[in-house]
Structures are given as structure tokens and as C-alpha cells.
Structure 1
Amino acid sequence: MSKVVVIDPGHGGKDPGATGHGLKEKDLTLKISKYAYDYLESNYEGVKVYMTRTKDTYPSLSGRCRYEKSKNADLFCSIHVNAGGGNGFESYVLRGAYTSTRRKQKIIHDEIMKVCPSGWRDRGRKQAGFYVLKHTRSSAILTENGFIDTKSNADDLKKDSFLKKLGYAHAKGIAKALGLKRKTKEEGKGKNKGEEKKKLKEFWRIHKNGKQIGYYDIDENARKMIHEVLEKSMIANEKEIDIKVERDLKYV
């Protein structure tokens, strides 16, 4: 049975998160998360990976937790960048978290610390009552990747090569924590020689009264169809109508 991972890039859209030295937390978390997603998808089998956002949008905290529950996740990882003048990396689980969750935290934490620059402090594995840790069902972990308002940390976070290392380290830690098996070399490449590189794309699945009625790769088309369905339902005087929209992420 496949393991399910939900990666949550902190903040987004109207909420930039912490800022400093020309950086915005929402941009950094999205980049790190995408690198983590790509690495997990490309290198491990028996895993389904989802992200709470793939663009500069703002899912509410409750929306992120509902999304995690809808996917029956085995692990939820919320990725953030710290502020407040400190230095280094730290991770969190819910206060009083199960031993299995704390074990996963240690594995992921240690894997990320391996790629942190020598000047970064290991600020430790901590516990807190953050909303996304409290209101998710799976093992939930939140990472704080450096301090955006500390120049030495910010200088590192400005390097895309370092953000890639952080993303890959998250993925490796998650894979180790869940006991995922690596793909063979051929599978891990994700493409044959000369084949065009696949891209991550968003699709929208629309259900009416439990039955799928549409599948679109553009958000705007999905909205148009929902409007048309509702309009036709009103004309037909349908008394009960239940419209659900589900987002899929695929490599195409």
C-alpha cells in the first residue's frame, strides 16, 4: 500500500510570512517544498505526494488541515522560515505527540541538519501547539529553516542551490521516516534519453452528486463548468445538488 505525504509550503498569497534582507518567507517555502516534492516523486516508489499549494496562493490554516485529512496522509510536513534574530534550524511536533511521530521528527531533523552550513546552529527538536500540528490527523512535523532576518542565514537562503539541498533533505528524511524504497536507476530518471522533461501540472476534478462530470487542467475552465452546472440545475429546478472540486498534481 502506498504511503501518502502532504507537503505544506507555509504562508502564501496575501500572507508573505516573515520578511528580511529582500526575501519573503512564502517564496522560500514554496521553492523548498517543490524541490522536496520533485525528489520524492522521482526517487521513491510506493508513495503519493501532494502539496497544499503550488503557486503564490493562500490556503487557510483550516483549509490546509482539511486537505491533509482528505488525502488520508501518513505524514504532513509544513515548511517554514524563522524570524526573530536567531540562527539555525529547528523542527516541531505537537506537544505530547506519539512516540512514532517524535521518531519521524528525529529522522527528518537529522537529515536536514546534514545540509545546513557549518555556521548554522542545531536549535533542536521541539514541541508546540501550532494549528497545523494540532488539527491534522497524520504524523505532523513543522520545520523552521533558518532566520530570514539574520544576514548570514539570509545569504544562504538567497542561493537556489541551498534551497534545493534543503528540499532534497526534507524528501530524504521523509522517505527514511516512512521506510520508502528507492526506485531503480531507470525509474528514478523519470524520462528516457532524448525525451522531453516532464513538468508538474495542476488538474481540477469536478463531481456532481458524487459522480465525476469534468476534469480540467486550467482552473478557469473548472470555474466555468461549475457555473454552467449550477445554472442548468436552477433552470431544471433541481432541489438537491452537491458540487465538489478536487485538485490533482501530475507530471505531464
Structure 2
Amino acid sequence: MAKKKKLKLRIDRVILVAIIAIIILFGLYKGIMFAVDQVSGFFAKEKPVQVEQKEKEYIATVVIDPGHGGYDAGANTKNLFEKDITLTTAKAVGKYLENQNIKVIYTRTEDIELHDDKKTDLEMRAAISKTNQAKYFVSIHVNDFDKTTDVSGFEVYTKNDESTALATSVGTYIEKLNYSKNRGIQDGKSLVVLKANTVPSILVELGYIKGKDYNYLSDNQKLEQIGEAIAKGIVDQVHKK
């Protein structure tokens, strides 16, 4: 009986020691977790220093309007569409202007129309000038003439006399490329996209899609060069004001 009592006593002591060890370990665990939370909270309060980036300051804003888009393909021949020609050229204009610290607002950057109604579409394009307080509005188009394929050359239409200097400057740079003849400045007061505008505005007809102008109108590299020429004409006028 004495041996059984001693054995039972030893077991009881082992259990007691185990319980005490568990309590001590649990206490250590809670203490460690509390310390970790405190340290984490301290570092969380210290937010990283953020360096403010200044918004780029542009010297002017220009609206570039690639004519047509979406359902309205414009002039076309041999799977070549005006809406694609104008968009390629417009993006080249914009790229050059942005590098010259001139902000560019596009009326479209993809193959879409602004409205199902054509007149409304044109008025919406023109309204972008006022909304963005633009200095100039430049619309890009391609000409067509069904009666003959012999006609060629580029033209620049103006909103008013205030737009003449811009038209002349742009026309001069395009002419230097020697891709087609300069047909001169034309009266564009009746064109909705110019007529509805609130700023000096021009519309550039890059050439006639049928006939010999097709050769450069179907060449994206040459369209990009024309785009840069248009941009140079714009830059000259921005710096003169």
C-alpha cells in the first residue's frame, strides 16, 4: 500500500509540474505576442515619407481631331480608310507636341465615333476646345474626288482670319516634305467642326485618297512625317504668341 501511495504521489507531482509548465509557457507566449503587437504598431504609425510629384506645366493646350471614326470611315479606296489615316497622323502630331511641352487633347484615340448623328459628332469635337481651354484646334482629314483621279495635293481650311497664321505655318512645313503640291489655304467657315469652335481652328486635308496621293497616304512612316510637320507648324505659332 505504501508503494502505491508513493507512486500516486509522484504522478500527482508530475501532473502538477506539467500544469505549472503549461501556465508558464502560455504566459510567455502572451507576453511575446503583446510585445510583437506593440512593436508592429509603433512602426505602422511611422508612415513612409511620400515625395510629391509636381504636375507637368505645359506652355499650351492643343486639341487634335482625327477625322471620322467608327461607323464613319470617311474617304476610302483599296481597303484604305480615311479614319485610319487621320488617326495615325494625329498620334504623330500629338507625340511631337508632347515632347515640346504642349499638352495634347485628342477627340479620339481609337476607331470610334463620338455620336451616331454626324452633326452632333462634329459639334462635340469642336466643344472639346472650350472645355479644355485650348489654344488651337487642328482637325485632320483626307480628300476625295469621284470624277477623276488626276487631282492631288493637300489643303488647309481656316475658321477665320485669326486662324490664317496657323494654317500658313502648318502648310509650309507639310510642303517641305514634297509629297504633294500645296493647294493653299481654303475658306472653312462653313465646316461644322471649325464653325462651332471657340478658338483659332484649322482643318488639314492631307491629300486625295485616289490617284498619286495614295502612295504616301498608304505609308504609315510618311504619315508620321506629315504629322511631325503639322506639329512643327503648331509649335512655331505657340512660341510666337
TM-score, normalising length from structure 2? 0.69
Residue 191 of structure 2 corresponds to residue 130 of structure 1: yes
Which residue does the alignment assign to 2:235? 175
Aligned to 1:115: 177
**In structure 2, what is the equivalent of residue 13 of structure 1?**
70
1:90 to 123, 135, 155: 155
Deviations 1:169-228 (A, max 9, x none): 0111110111179xxxxxxxxxxxxxxxxxxxxxxxxxxxxxxxxxxxxxxxxxxxxxxx
Aligned pairs for 1:155-194 within 5 A: 155-179=215-239
| Equivalent-residue separation in structure 1 for 2:79 and 2:176 (angstroms) | 26
* Structure 2 unpaired stretches of 5+: 1-57, 115-120
Q: 1:18 to 1:125 in 2, by over 3 A?
A: same
d(CA) in 2 for partners of 1:113, 1:178: 20
Query: In percent, how many aligned pairs have the same letter?
Result: 36
Which of 81, 94, 99 is the aligned partner of 1:37?
94
- Which amino acid in the other structure matches residue 135 of structure 1? A
What secondary structure sits across from 1:141 in the alignment?
strand
Distance 1:27 1:122 in 2: 22
1:20-55 CA deviation, whole Å, 9 max, x = no partner? Answer: 13210000000000011011112x12x211100000
Look up the match of 2:29: none
Show structure 1 runs of 5+ residues with no match.
Answer: 182-252
Q: 1:41, 1:33 → 2: CA distance?
A: 12
- The secondary structure found in structure 1 opposite 2:205 is strand
Aligned partner (choices 131, 143, 165) of residue 103 of structure 1: 165
> How much does 1:67 deviate?
1.5
CA RMSD of aligned residues (A): 1.6
Structure 1 segments of 4 or more deviating over 4 A? none
Q: Counterparts of 1:108 and 1:157 in 2: how far apart (Å)?
A: 18
* Contact 2:171 2:182 (8 Å CA) reproduced: no
**How far does the alpha carbon of each residue in 1:112-166 deviate from its partner, in whole angstroms, 9 at most, with x for none?**
111132xx2211111121001100111000000011122x111221111101111
- CA radius of gyration, larger in: 2
Counterpart Cα distance in 2 of 1:76 and 1:135? 11
The normalised TM-score by structure 1 is: 0.66
CA distance in 1, matches of 2:105, 2:89: 14
Q: Distance in 1 between matches of 2:69 and 2:201?
A: 20
